[in-house]
Amino acid sequence: MQFTAEQIAELLEGVVDGDPQVLVNDLAKIEEARGGTLTFLSNPKYTEYIYGTKATIAIVAKDFAPARALPKTLTLIRVADPRMAFTQLLERNYQLQYEKKGIEQPSFVSPKAKVGKNVYIGAFCYVGDHVELGDGVKVFPNCFIGDGTRIGDGARIHAGVKVYHQTVIGARCVIHSGAVIGSDGFGFVPDAHGVYEKMPQVGNVVLEDDVEVGANTTIDRATIGSTVIRQGTKLDNLIQVGHNAEIGKHNVIVAQTGIAGSSVVGNHNQIGGQVGIAGHLTIGDRVRIAAQSGIGTDLADGRTVQGSPAFDKGPYDRSYVVFRKLPELLKRIDQLEKEVAELRERKGA
């Protein structure tokens, strides 16, 4: 899509300095810009690039004063904060990529499903019985949406996602490719002969509003009740959430973390990559867990931990200094033992 400098300035509440009708159709970094693109200048160390840029439009600060002549083909849009303005355009450009509507063929949408306004369902999708898709939901190609699933307004389900039956996905959630929501929890019971029998998993998964789930992440359905991810939490790629786990509001959890069944994670936590959280634990609020930590006990509010098994980061750092010196300390101990033995021999003589 093409936009004029005038249209962009109106969106950004800026002022055009140049041709208001000049057109652009793409965004670019100032040092890589070409004709027909829009760029921005906010960091002073990039100022030199604006005098030779091939961009058609550049967003600059209101008080930007060129030290020498600018390219004749360049139009400026003056704004209060160039970086923030460019961020707005990036967001708008991102949204435009997903402004698809309608149902592509071949796909299957059950006649018993309820589909809201301005919904997009890509080719080769399956939408089961009694599914409810809110207004503006985007379901990209090759997705499976199981029976009885409810997806809230403005949610986006990327290509290849599998959503099992009875899942609840809130408004504006984003589920990235390859994620599996609602697969069976890992529940098996050994019989008298040690043979494992599967325990039926009859619960579901609930994602509250504004949750984001990364690519190839899996969230297991509850044995009974619900596995819950609360409002605003962001899950990275390749995360495993076990059955009946509950993750609170506005957490960020980094790739390859595993949260075992029935554990409860509070609000506003930061959990690093490859963290393992054992089952039936309680993690408080505003906890920070460093990457590759193993959590085997409850963690109170506000703690920062590291290690496996994890403990408070301050003692961990001091312990790690000692750990690295262990080979040197062992040599010193061996030397001291030899010296002590020699002293004993002399005393005995």
pLDDT in tens, 125-171: 999 999 999 999 999 999 999 999 999 999 999 999 999 999 999 99
Weakly modelled stretches of the chain, pLDDT under 70: 1, 349
From residue 289, give the alpha-carbon distance in Å to each of 247, 283, 300: 15, 10, 12
What was the pLDDT predicted at 97? Answer: 78
What CATH number has the domain bearing residue 244?
A: 2.160.10.10
Shared domain for 57 and 140, answered yes or no, is no
Q: Partners of 213 in the beta sheet?
A: 175, 235
In this structure, the answer to whether residues 52 and 148 fall within a common structural domain is no
Final residue before a domain boundary, out of 47, 71, 96: 96
Q: Examine the fold and report which residue of 96, 124, 152 is the final residue of a domain before the chain moves on.
A: 96
Q: In Å, how far from its chain's centre is CA 135?
A: 24
Q: What is the pLDDT of residues 83-135, one digit of tens each?
A: 999 999 988 887 777 888 999 999 999 999 999 999 999 999 999 999 999 99
CATH of the domain at 52: 3.40.1390.10
85 and 230 housed in the same domain:
no
Do 79 and 116 fall into the same domain? no
Q: Which of 62, 96, 130 is the last residue of a domain?
A: 96
| pTM recorded for the entire structure | 0.78
pLDDT for 136: 95
Q: Are residues 141 and 82 in the same domain?
A: no
Q: Report how far residue 218's alpha carbon sits from residue 227's, in angstroms, rounded to the nearest whole number.
A: 12
> Residue 84's domain spans which residues?
3-96
Torsion of the alpha carbons at 139, 145, 151 and 156, rounded to the nearest 10:
-20
What is the per-residue pLDDT for 80? 96
Please state, in angstroms and as integers, the Cα–Cα distance from residue 92 to each residue in 4, 65, 75, 79, 342, following that order: 15, 28, 21, 17, 80
* Together in a domain, 149 and 182: yes
136 and 232 belong to one structural domain: yes
Q: What percentage of the chain exceeds 70 in pLDDT?
A: 99
303 lies in the same domain as 216: yes
Give the CA angle between residues 315, 321, 322 to the nearest 5°: 90
My answer on whether 325 and 311 are in the same domain is no
Q: How many domains does the chain have?
A: 3
pLDDT at res. 258: 98
Residue 168 and residue 293 in one domain: yes
- Domain co-membership, 247 together with 327: no
pLDDT recorded at residue 349: 57
In the prediction, which pLDDT does 177 show?
98
Instruction: Give the C-alpha separation, 234 to 83, whole Å.
Output: 24
Catalytic residues, which ones?
243
284 shares its domain with 233: yes
